[in-house]
Amino acid sequence: MAPFLLVLTAKDSYYPAFWKLVRAWSYVLVYGMGFRIKKQIDQELDRNQSYMFCPNHASFMDPFVLIVLSKNPIVFVGKKELVKIPVFGFFYKRVVIMVDRSSPASRKRVFDMAKKRLHGGTSIGIFPEGLVPTEDVILAPFKKGAFSLAIQHQIPIVPQTYYDCKRFFSWDFLKGGMGTFRVRQHQFIETKGLTLENLEDVKEKTFEILYNELSSDELYMKDTNKTK
C-alpha cells in the first residue's frame, strides 16, 4: 500500500480519499483476523457534522475498530513517540496531529491543526486516557485535551465503549483469540454554548459514562481480572 499512501498523504485535500483506503484496510485487518463487530448505536452520526470521538483504550486494535465504525473521516491526535516506529512512523507523522504534552507550543499547534481539519464532516479521534492501562485498571484517568478541543470547536463528544478488544487482542502474546468485539456508541455530549470553565464537568461526565459501562459488564470484569 506504500505507493498509494505516499500519494494520498501528500496533501490535506487528499485526506478523504486516504480515509477510504485506510477504512478498507481496517475492514480487511479486523475481519480477516477472525474478528467481528457487534455494535449498539444509541445515537447516529450525521455525515456532515464534525465530532470528537472518545473511546476507552485497551488494545492495538482500538483505532482500527474506530475506523471501521465511522464513515466520517477522522483525524487522530497521537503521541509524537510513535514516529519512531519504522515505516509506520513515516506515514503516521504525515496524517496524525502529533502532540508533545510537555510543550505548551505543541498543544497550541494541535488546536490550530484541528481547526484546519474540522470541515466537511471531518472529525477528531482521541483516546482520552492517553495510554493503555494495565489489566487491573478499569479505566485510566482522562487527560484534558480532547474535551478542551471539543469545547473550543463547539463539536459534540462521542463516547464509545470497547468491551472486548483487550481480551481478544491482548498485549500478552499468550492471551487472546478470535471473537466478537462489542461496541457501544453512547448518546453524544453536546458542547454548544459551553466554555473552558465547563471542561472538568464534561471530562468527568464522559469518564463516568465509560467507567459505569465497563464496570457493569460481567465479561469485561471477569476476563480482564479487574476489580472496582
Per residue in 18-68, pLDDT tens?
Answer: 999 999 999 999 999 999 999 999 999 998 899 999 999 989 899 999 999
Q: Identify whether 215 is part of a domain.
A: yes
Q: Identify whether 11 is part of a domain.
A: yes
**Residue 14, pLDDT above cutoff 90:** no
- Residue 203 belongs to domain with CATH number: 3.40.1130.10
pLDDT of residue 47: 85
Strand, helix or coil at 115? helix
Per residue in 169-205, pLDDT tens?
Answer: 887 777 889 999 999 999 999 999 999 999 999 999 9
Q: Identify whether 219 is part of a domain.
A: yes
Burial (CB count within 10 angstroms: exposed 0-12, middle 13-18, buried 19+), residue 108 = exposed
* Mean pLDDT across the chain: 88
What is the tally of structural domains in the chain?
Answer: 1
Residue 125, beta-bridge partner list: 53, 76
Using 50, 70 and 90 to split pLDDT, how confident is the model at 120? low
Contacts of 90 (CB under 8 A, 6+ apart): none
Q: Identify whether 228 is part of a domain.
A: no
Q: Identify whether 18 is part of a domain.
A: yes
DSSP symbols for 32-62: HTTEEEEEEESSPPPTT---EEEE---STTH
Which structural domain range is residue 215 located in? 2-223
Strands of 74-79's sheet in order across: 35-41, 179-185, 157-162, 52-55, 123-125, 74-79, 97-99
Question: Could you give the percent of the chain with pLDDT greater than 90?
Answer: 54
Query: Which amino acid is it at 219?
Result: L
